[in-house]
Amino acid sequence: MDTRHLIRISATALATAGLLVSGCSPGGTSPSASASAPRQTVPAALKTYYAQKLSWRACGAPGFQCATMKAPLDYKKPERADIKLAVTRKKATGPGRRLGSLLVNPGGPGGSAISYVQSYAAIGYPAPVRARYDMVAVDPRGVARSEPVECLTGKEMDAYTQVDQTPDDQGEAGKLVTSFKGFAAGCAKRSAAILPHVSTVEAARDMDILRAVLGDEKLNYVGASYGTFLGATYAELFPARAGRLVLDGAMDPSLPARDMNRDQTAGFETAFQSFAADCVKREDCPLGTGTPDGAGKRLKGLFDELDAEPVTTGQSRRLGESLATTGVIAAMYDESAWTELREALTRAMGGDGAALLALADTYYERAADGSYQNLMYANAAVNCLDLPPAFTGPDEVRSALPDFEKASPVFGEGLAWASMSCTYWPTRATGTPHRIEAKGAAPIVVVGTTRDPATPYKWARSLAGQLESGTLLTYDGDGHTAYGRGSDCIDTAINTYLLEGTPPKDGKKCS
């Protein structure tokens, strides 16, 4: 689990947005250096894609239509091959004048936008928004229904998730390196054709084709977590076509992978401190009733115990340090999971790891039959293409450990080693860290949560400052992302922007 890869959708909390995954972040070929940097005409080689007609059909979810859209597999050589992308929509219900399509993306990379819109957004977004927008989603290339990246079998993935990510010696470090190499080799074996073509830049270009095919002059969009990078990239490529864009739980595209991973490590520490401060006030807190720092030491002690001797879970897999850490991190995404986490930690300390394992399985999208969704595979494929790796090997990780452990005494060691997951990737990164300004774009609303674990608040401040038309909206609270999570102040500001086009005043704060 590499921190950068940790930006995905959480199945808990309104299917809200964001759970982490494992790898890197921003990227694809840097638009500022690309031959197709912001220009508003359609290249001749792409006109057939922009002119295609979608054949809509009824699909599983009531009220939704589904279709398949074609895009070039390789935008540099669009004549060679197509990629098929799954699209869904639920038409505006009225009353009120239809405002066009509202494309949504829950993050990841690797989160299924179709699952998100069908299970939550088109049902749970505020009624006035759903009344006036067609709610639309496309699974990005390589994700879920859109020619998914595949890497490992279920049993292989089980083994991968249990590898010790806090190696105590050269031998354990070697096993960790072997696991990263094996994961990468599995992706290369099963997904060779698509692996070089799942960058964020390519996904953003796909979104512009979809915009045109839907008949919209401009793209209206709500992106959460990694979806903010996708949306910002779209605005960079197509500033004149950027409509009302909400970037919630923002990423900072200017950061190299190592800095991004370290920042996210600090974000999880901030979230844990908030959980711990609440926990130690409760009689049932398994981490004691002292201070948050003391609770952190107790949790780290539990991780050490599980590293030495995993506990039973009622199934063939045992709960060791790696899976336990993942389970705790999963619960950091939303404060509504804190009660479940306290209970899971209590049971683990008593020798029963089933509840923490269940949290980890939710994070990894592992089904009861032992199969996995492709979230983690797509996450790695996109992240490792979007940015050069954080580390070149174990020696660099060891040198960086003090910085990571300073960022988080609880999670720092494990997340530092996890940041090596792109080191052995079979496809060279095509993206580079860079500022996104999107000059000429309409106002863009960037939302940051002060104690967000996965996308630290300072990233939102940074992105809002980079964007020429960025305006920062702050939620003073816990959890990952802010829209639709209970703050009337946040929801009213975003709804007003989506419905009327009026962004909140830059620097507006809500609680």
Give me the active site residues, please: 225, 452, 480
Burial (CB count <10 Å: 0-12, 13-18, 19+), residue 41 = exposed
Residue 24: closest CA among 460, 328, 388, 495? 388
Structure tokens at 354: 């089933």
From CA 77, how far away is CA 58, in angstroms rounded? 33
Helix (H, G, I), strand (E, B) or coil at 504: coil
Instruction: Compute the half-sphere exposure of residue 153: CA atoms within 13 Å on the CB side of its CA.
Output: 2
Rg (CA), the chain: 22
Residue type, 47: K
Residue type, 271: A
For 187, other C-beta atoms within 10 Å of its C-beta total 24
From CA 322, how far away is CA 352, in angstroms rounded? 16
Q: In what order do the strands lie in the sheet with 65-72?
A: 57-58, 65-72, 82-90, 133-138, 100-105, 219-224, 242-248, 444-451, 470-478, 508-510
Q: 204 with 227: CB under 8 angstroms?
A: no
* Residue linked to tokens 């096993």: 175
